[in-house]
Structure 1
Amino acid sequence: MGRLDGKVIILSAAAQGIGRACAIAFGKEGAVVIATDINGEKLKELEQYSGIKTKVLDVTQKEQVEKLAKEIEKIDVLFNCAGFVHHGTILECEDKDWDFTMNVNVRSMYLMIRTFLPKMLAQKSGNIINMSSVASSIKGTVDTPSLRERIEAQPNPQQALQEFLERQKTGRMATAEEVAHLCVYLASDESAYVTGKEFIIDGGWSL
């Protein structure tokens, strides 16, 4: 018996990083996982895992989100994992960068929750998990492809990586799989009495 047997889970940004690790972990625990992302090519790689169905979806587009909702009769867990961290200072952030960041990090959660919450209310059950970055204040770093891309974009990638590692109190970055362990708990009935709670995975940075 899996911890998530029979549960239908919809998650965004499933093609790589934390979203991918969570999709795989959910599937292993018996859930029916509807993994979405804008990167259809990377998303297809998840189809080799049992329990995972893939769907190309831009979570910033209302019509696409609503179309997906009409195709799904039941939802037990909504996991909003899509996010974007812009590198550089505010002086390097153009209007389009600001709009894109807000649309992905904030508006997408609003669209997904507003669209799928009525189904949960009708069922009188459901879990919503929202993922966000702690990069702005806590610096607990998770080793993901997007982080590696930002490091490689630096003038001195090796030095940038070393700086990331040196500020980690544990001496290493977190893995996406370690974050997935918490998400499995939050998606399961084990967390039935947990609500409105913020969980920080930062390797002790905030202590």
Structure 2
Amino acid sequence: MKHTDLTGKHAVVTGAASGIGEAIARCFVEAGANVTLLDVNEVRVQEAASKLGEAAAGVACDITQEDAVRKTFEGFPGVDILVNSAGIAHVGTLLTTAPADFDRLFNVNVRGTYLCMQVAVPKMVEGGGGTILNMASIAATSGLPDRFAYSMTKGAVLSMTLSVARDYIDKKVRCNCISPARVHTPFVDGFVAKNYPGREAEMFEKLGKSQPIGRMGTPDEIALLVLYLCSEASSFVTGCDYPIDGGFFNLR
């Protein structure tokens, strides 16, 4: 579609070495964008970028480190689109979440998103505008069991999204977030294999049934919503949180 054509745009996608981030980067390249894939894992992000051809570049960057983020973004002549997809998870309640785990999740999911937006927004303003898409979660607004620290970080991502949308609306910078339910990614495969050896099929069925639609989402389905929100097709949309949850909120 013409309205989702990203030709001439430079997009930066964090956490792009695998899973949802990689799917978003691929979707953007297919829509005509030049895409920089960022990830802390240098080997994997370069491998992911190499699959996408000359329109993609893989760059190692620890988004929790201010100097690393600033140095990385200084190398870009401009940023039209920023997708903050990098994130980590944790299983635990208030009483079973150690301070070290709390800090680790905050540093990646909240601080990393903050640092990337802080360096990208001036470039967007200088270029006449831009679009930011942050990765929140159904955990931001729903009481999920055993997800204390993770839910905290995604609530913060949602709040930051609204603040940035409000503060830079007159600078033609749009900022939205999406809230996926469970998505079948390599992380989920690894988690199930590690914690439920020999019961993988049973657990995948259980995880799928937690959404009324009866299955987990796919990274490609998430990427298509991100494409819409980062293209001119959504030019009237800012300050919104879009659920993509297989009916989790409204049909349970």
- Normalised by the shorter chain, which TM-score bucket? over 0.9
From 185, 188, 209, give the equivalent of 1:147.
188
Following TM superposition, the consecutive aligned residue runs of length 4 or more in structure 1 with deviations greater than 6 angstroms are none
From 189, 210, 227, give the equivalent of 1:184.
227
Contact 2:46 2:57 (C-alpha < 8 Å) held by counterparts: no
Contact 2:80 2:131 (C-alpha < 8 Å) held by counterparts: yes
Give the superposition deviation at 1:182.
Answer: 0.7
> For the structure 1 residues 200 and 138, does the alpha-carbon distance in structure 2 shift closer, same or farther, using more than 3 Å as the test?
farther
Gaps of 5+ in 2: 145-180
The alignment-based identity, stated in percent, is 35
Summarize the alignment of residues 57-76 of structure 1 with structure 2, pairs less than 5 Å apart.
Answer: 57-76=61-80
- What residue identity is the alignment partner of 1:100? R
- How large is the RMSD of aligned CA atoms in angstroms? 1.7
Summarize the alignment of residues 1-207 of structure 1 with structure 2, pairs less than 5 Å apart.
Answer: 3-46=5-48, 47-50=50-53, 51-135=55-139, 137=142, 140-155=181-196, 157-158=199-200, 159-207=202-250
TM-score relative to the length of structure 1: 0.93
Give the superposition deviation at 1:155.
Answer: 4.2
TM-score relative to the length of structure 2: 0.77
Which structure has more RCO (C-alpha within 8 Å, separation ≥ 6)? Answer: 1
Q: Secondary structure at the match of 1:174?
A: coil
Give the superposition deviation at 1:94.
Answer: 1.6
Gaps of 5+ in 1: none
C-alpha distance in structure 2 between counterparts of 1:154 and 1:88, whole Å: 14
Q: For residues 54-112 of structure 1, what are the alpha-carbon distances to aligned partners after superposition, in whole Å with 9 as ceiling and x for unaligned?
A: 10011111001000121111110011011111023333322211101001111111111
Give the superposition deviation at 1:123.
Answer: 1.9
Between the two proteins, the alignment pairs up a number of residues equal to 207
